[in-house]
Amino acid sequence: MSSNSISTIAIPNLHRLVFENGITLIIVENQAADIISGRFFLKNAGTIVEKPEQAGVSQLVSAVITKGTKNLSALEIADKIESIGAGLGADTSTDYFSLSLKTVSADFPPMLKLLGEIMRSPTFPESEVELERKLTLQGIRSQKEQPFNVAFDQLRQQMYPNHPYGVSVLGTETSVANLSRADLQQYHQTYFRPDNLVISLSGRITKEQATDLISQVFGDWQKPNQPCPPVQITSPIPNPSQAEIIQDTQQSIVMLGYLGTKVNLQDYPVLKLISTYLGNGLSSRLFVELREKRGLAYDVSAFFPTRLDTAPFITYMGTAPTNTEIAIEGLSKEVERLTKETLTEEELQGAKNKLLGQYALGKQTNGEIAQTFGWYETLGLGVEFDQTFQATIPPITPERAKEVANRYLSQPYVSLVKPEA
């Protein structure tokens, strides 16, 4: 299997190649430890491609795909992995499906062969599908007993009606109960194909070694004649609302949600910086003002995840039931402050230092490195986004932050979970 190397990447020891059958291979040569970590991403997969009636199929595939192949039983697969202390697993997210692999370098070739067999010829045994379906249903029911998850699920439904982001990655009780082995097989047949695969490796391996090994395992995998189905969704339109659920709980959960932006748009890094300033850590604005100074919060934070489509910008607080209305007011005012007042250079610089410092710390292990570069490639950003994202943070001005806050953070969706009065 021949490949084309793309050498426009100015990152030391990083290589990106595209094979004839469409596989994209990223290699980061890191000789520091005798370990190789791999991430195997399937683009145009994950929950973003699920129909409402099949919500949760990606998660169920990830739970069952390692439980049997044409040649190996679940027990035999587990024995091969555990006998050498390796790690091999599958996972799904909103925007992709992935498998992971971690071994010492000497064991990487046989483990890669095993992973290739799992990816290409899983059998999805009926008994394993039924077991994992029951476990998933238990997980969904368990989440309904946790106030934070209840509030977040309600907020998702408010913000993303008729959109895959509006449903938990686990799916719903109704959809999961109706999933069949045939649904898993159809998902696998549709999205597991070489031209939909991004392989990201980091560790004690050279470009030549990686290319040869991937060729041996995946070289005869032919891409289908028909193209991979495109992601077909309509981005949500802002329509703020307030909803509440009465639950037997000792605290109230208050969540404010705002429709943010996609990862490939220019306002994305600014919203990342704002969320860091507002709710990241013990020095964040929300923690200092609402917990330390006013004693309102058991827990308070903000987050803005990276998404292929429009991502939610969320602030939340856990508080005493008697403080529910004050909590809503406090959260709202702190976000509203960003739209009315211009942050000082010192405030913004502190957030920049925190964001870039945590970003750097998130790429210390081979697994984290493989995840970062493979994820960016999977989202269509390219591995160079690792550098371009970091370069966009220092030039952000207080005026720019205020402008972006006004664009996105004016009208919140409100989700409440509280006990009876």
User: Band of the pLDDT at 197, cuts 50, 70, 90?
Assistant: very high
Distance of CA 49 to CAs 53, 142, 165, Å? 12, 25, 10
User: Band of the pLDDT at 10, cuts 50, 70, 90?
Assistant: low
Please give the span between the terminal C-alpha atoms of the chain, in angstroms, as a whole number: 67
Q: Is the pLDDT of residue 259 over 70?
A: yes
Domain 242-418: assigned CATH number: 3.30.830.10
At residue 320, the pLDDT reads 93
How much is the average pLDDT of 156-175?
A: 96
Residue 20 and residue 142: Cα distance in Å, rounded?
Answer: 46
Q: What percent of the chain has pLDDT over 90?
A: 90
Tens digits of residue pLDDT in 373-393? 999 999 999 999 999 999 999
User: Band of the pLDDT at 232, cuts 50, 70, 90?
Assistant: confident
Task: Answer whether 3-218 and 242-418 agree in fold.
Answer: yes
Residue 199 and residue 215: Cα distance in Å, rounded?
Answer: 12
- The CATH-assigned architecture of domain 3-218 is 2-Layer Sandwich (3.30)
Six token digits for residue 263: 């990862």
User: Band of the pLDDT at 8, cuts 50, 70, 90?
Assistant: very low
Helix (H, G, I), strand (E, B) or coil at 308: coil
Six token digits for residue 210: 């990686």
Nearest to 61 by CA among 171, 212, 194, 163: 171
Domain edges within the chain: 3-218, 242-418
pTM of the model: 0.94
Tens digits of residue pLDDT in 67-82? 999 999 999 999 999 9
At residue 3, the pLDDT reads 52
Q: Is 25:19 a contact under the CB 8 Å cutoff?
A: yes
At residue 9, the pLDDT reads 52
Q: Is the pLDDT of residue 15 over 80?
A: yes
| 420 φ/ψ sector (left φ>0, alpha ψ -120 to 50, else beta) | beta
Q: Is the dihedral of CA 358, 364, 366, 367 positive or negative?
A: negative
Helix (H, G, I), strand (E, B) or coil at 103: strand
- Provide Rg for the chain, Cα atoms: 23
Distance of CA 122 to CAs 19, 63, 111, Å? 23, 12, 16
Q: What percent of the chain has pLDDT over 70?
A: 98
Residue 232 and residue 197: Cα distance in Å, rounded?
Answer: 19
Q: Is the pLDDT of residue 6 over 50?
A: no
At residue 161, the pLDDT reads 94
Q: Is 101:28 a contact under the CB 8 Å cutoff?
A: no
Give how far the C-alpha of residue 330 lies from the chain's centroid of Cα atoms, to the nearest Å: 29
Q: What is the DSSP letter of 349?
A: H
Backbone φ, ψ for residue 243 (5° rounding) = -140, 150
Distance of CA 255 to CAs 46, 151, 236, 316, 396, Å? 26, 7, 19, 4, 27
Tens digits of residue pLDDT in 30-39? 988 899 999 9
Q: Is 373:38 a contact under the CB 8 Å cutoff?
A: no
Nearest to 382 by CA among 193, 198, 211: 198
Q: Is the pLDDT of residue 165 over 50?
A: yes
How much is the average pLDDT of 186-201?
A: 97
Q: At what angle do helices 147-159 and 126-143 cross, to 10 degrees?
A: 100
Q: What is the mean pLDDT of the chain?
A: 94
Q: Which residues pair with 40 in a beta bridge?
A: 99, 199
User: Band of the pLDDT at 421, cuts 50, 70, 90?
Assistant: confident
AA letter at 359? Y
At residue 32, the pLDDT reads 86
